[in-house]
Structure 1
Amino acid sequence: MTDTLIRPRLRTVTLRGVRPLGSPPLDVTLHDGRIAAITAPGTGTSTGPGIDCEGLIMLPAFVDLHTHLREPGGEDTETIATGTRAAAHGGYSDVFAMANCRPVTDTPDRVRHIAQTAARTASCRVHPVGAITTGLAGAQLAPLKEMAGAGARMFSDDGKCVDNAAILQAALRIGRRTGTVIAQHAQCGHLAGQGQVNAGEAADHTGLPPWPATGEETIVARDVVLAAATGAHLHICHVSTAGTADIVRWAKQRGWPVTAEVTPHHLLLTDTLTLGTDPTYKVNPPLRTADDVAALRAALLDGTIDAVATDHAPHSDASKAEDWCHAPFGMTGLETALPIVAKVLSGDSDREPDWGLIADVMSHRPARIGSIADRAGRPLRPGEPATFTLIDPRADWRVDAEAGTSKSRNTPFHGLRLRHRVIATVLDGRITADPAHLLTGGSHDHG
């Protein structure tokens, strides 16, 4: 995002009684796009106006390594403008836009086109992800070096797996030379085939084609070995099984350059929801068992899984209303990620989650993985950019698919009651989301 998209900018202002990373209440003074001071309540010297933020949690704004913005080619379901508005309302300052657009982001010009469109229309910073193979076809390596020169920091054929080990190895070698990340959608075609639901009870009950855990785990096992051999940074997208978590843990114990992400829906939902064949719950990889969910939560807690990424995948109402096999895979997730992660990390109870861990898995670590830690995922301390999100930990609200800011409504969480809610997001001192009008009302200008 650049200043071509003018947004309200906070002048010198103090957020009174706010709780950075869940700390006791403090006063946080902002000035000229940066955090100027953090002091005990009532002890600061700021002469600017104050905003009552009593009890609100302040976290560094989030970074999503895995977003589908659909533009170009899928503007009927999402655009860069609508998707990044949803991101801002979800607390995000930065999103990585996956390459499966129409046309595919597989050339330097297409990388630049997305960046230029985002500069005009986005509510957060957008980082184009380049395709690993031309047209996502898995047959020919795309011009990774040239796309890296155009600004791509990550490459992925997400939505499809790079099944060919030689091509993946070649991509890793280029990634090593360019300092970029190769992100794999792990789905062995020979094992997962046309799988639709998790193998086992879900497939047996519905009669739908099975998508077994081995289809994910065999690719991950192969690719972590290739990462070790090449010394390149491999990132595993949307980990969904206990076995995959074990493989990633094994690789990390050996010091191999491997990172991994998990989605909010894989941390909360299980394959029992697919028994009724409602395509709302159709996602790739599929929802797995309760044992898998427990293993993913444990892997996030012990650092095996580095980050939470939404895999925000908007679709039209009409396409999601098709029968299961014809409906598309995918769920929206940008606006509900924080409350779902808070729910998971609080053990589905009333106790407060570990806000420092949430900052790690949704901001600090994703920024490092995406090589944008110089500007995103920064600590909340004086001198740092005023890039943060404010969360009401007492919101007590229900998800309403019709009320979201995404262009699509295919959330699996419609009707779910949640306790935490993002109420404002600020990027470099500019307000990008303020649905409760907490920060607006005389304490900002438009300069």
Structure 2
Amino acid sequence: MTKRLIKNGQCLVNGHLAVQDILIEDGIITAIGQLSNPQPAVNKIIDAQGLFVSQGLVDVHVHFREPGQTAKETIKTGSLAAARGGYTTVAAMPNVIPTPDTPERIKALIAKNEQDAVVHVLQYATITTDRGGDELVDFEALKAAGAFAFSNDGNGVQTSGTMYKAMQAAAELNMAVVAHAEDDSLTYGGVMHEGDSSKRLGLPGIPSVSETAQVARDVVLAGATGAHYHVCHVSAKETVQVIRAAKQAGVHVTAEVSPHHLLLSDADITSDNAMLKMNPPLRSETDRQALIQGLLDGTIDMIATDHAPHTDAEKAQSMLKAPFGITGSETAFAMLYTKFVKTGQFSLAQLINWMSVAPADVFGIQTAGHLAVGAPADLAIFDLTTASEIKREDFLSKGHNSPFVGETVYGGTKLTLVDGEVAYRAK
């Protein structure tokens, strides 16, 4: 039997930090508290003096690019990046080539995830065949094959009837429909938010209504079908308003926001810089503040990174040609802790709730999100007091496409354990 003892770490107890020891036996937490004596036959003692020991973070929105686009990322590198960010459970989107739209394909991808990943990877299936059009997948067969939820992320479902039928099928199976909300007829070939910055830079803009109109449609359909409808990467204040009203009306709608939409606005785009090109785009400062308020009042349930690696060459292009997306796994906790917790806008307990507890609870991930006796020893140890610089050469992701390179942050990950085993250790 393998025994590890984490000594002297600071854990959240009733929302406040308190020194605790954590005993791990064969990958399971067997004791938490101020353990008076080192347990007999402990194989390894980890001294976490002055460090924050948390349940592992949970990210329901990552892109691992494998199969089909392994120049951007692989399951191995994406999971290493997640571990470096303190994540122990992630959910991988299905925009890979070929898409996991049949039981055979999703079984093969789940097996590859289990073989190559250093963290737990849950796998999305698509809503429609090849993540486009109107031909629905076999929802029941895909659930039986191990699908975590259903999403066409990267594309919005354009036809109302298709989404209605998808929600009906998912509701019967008690499965979530996870939507990238985007009405293609309202995007106008844009590459950033339609606003003052896009006009100043002479770049085509994407209006907020492209997101909000589809969310408004979908919450009506979710209300009619009883489906769990989850909105990816909310970006606009009007979308927050729609979700808030839908929740008040009793619709089973949940939502996530990305770190970059909380941290940045289109005012930060001062030149044609593809490191700031993501979909949905960075919107106005008013939108950013609405997202923060939405988190604080419970309209938005959680934070998810939308980790989207691309090659250096792709992101070296103009915003007109570069792909949408930035990496997020390795920078999310440190950036959010530094910019929001250290400044007093969020508490540490709130941040851990949005980055671990809530995503696990909302999606019913029984084995994640909680630091408790009997739970798997999926843990992250963070240094909240030492400053460090985000450097691209330190990334374990293949993607270096982050606008946060060069930022000085607190909250770097020192150690990540998955089932009690080391998945990441800082150098």
Q: Same fold (TM over 0.5)?
A: yes
Shift of 1:353: 5.1
CA–CA separation in structure 1 for the residues paired with 2:28 and 2:140: 35
Contact 2:152–2:180 (8 Å) recurs in 1: yes
- Say whether residues 1:407 and 2:385 are aligned partners: no
- Aligned residue for 1:175? 170
- Aligned residue for 1:238? 233
State the secondary structure of the residue aligned to 1:23: strand
% identical equivalent positions: 38
Equivalent residue runs for 1:299-378 within 5 Å: 299-346=294-341, 349=343, 354-372=347-365, 374-377=366-369
Q: 1:401 to 1:289 in 2, by over 3 A?
A: same
Shift of 1:192: 1.6
- Aligned residue for 1:101? 96
Q: Specify which of 421, 427, 434 is matched with residue 418 of structure 2.
A: 427
CA–CA separation in structure 2 for the residues paired with 1:137 and 1:28: 47
Farther off after superposition, 312-321 or 90-99? 90-99
State the secondary structure of the residue aligned to 2:269: helix
Q: Deviations over 1:74-130 (max 9, x none)?
A: 011100011011111111111111111111221111111111111211111111111
CA–CA separation in structure 2 for the residues paired with 1:273 and 1:353: 22
Shift of 1:223: 0.6
Shift of 1:352: 9.4
RMSD over aligned CA atoms reads 1.6
Equivalent residue runs for 1:198-277 within 5 Å: 198-277=193-272
Equivalent residue runs for 1:185-196 within 5 Å: 185-196=180-191
Structure 1: which 5+ residue stretches go unaligned? 1-9, 437-447
Shift of 1:356: 2.0
Contact 1:27–1:44 (8 Å) recurs in 2: no
Q: Deviations over 1:207-244 (max 9, x none)?
A: 21111111111111111111111000000000001111
Contact 2:59–2:305 (8 Å) recurs in 1: yes
Q: Deviations over 1:136-173 (max 9, x none)?
A: 22322122222111111211111111011110011101
Paired residues, what number?
Answer: 422
- Aligned residue for 1:389? 380
CA–CA separation in structure 1 for the residues paired with 2:338 and 2:176: 30
Q: Specify which of 17, 24, 37 is matched with residue 23 of structure 1.
A: 17
Q: Deviations over 1:159-190 (max 9, x none)?
A: 11101111001110111011111011111112
State the secondary structure of the residue aligned to 1:25: strand
- Say whether residues 1:416 and 2:407 are aligned partners: yes
Shift of 1:44: 4.4
Structure 2: which 5+ residue stretches go unaligned? none
State the secondary structure of the residue aligned to 1:102: coil
Question: How high is the TM-score relative to the length of structure 1?
Answer: 0.91
- Aligned residue for 1:115? 110
CA–CA separation in structure 2 for the residues paired with 1:76 and 1:415: 24
- Aligned residue for 1:74? 69
Shift of 1:45: 5.7
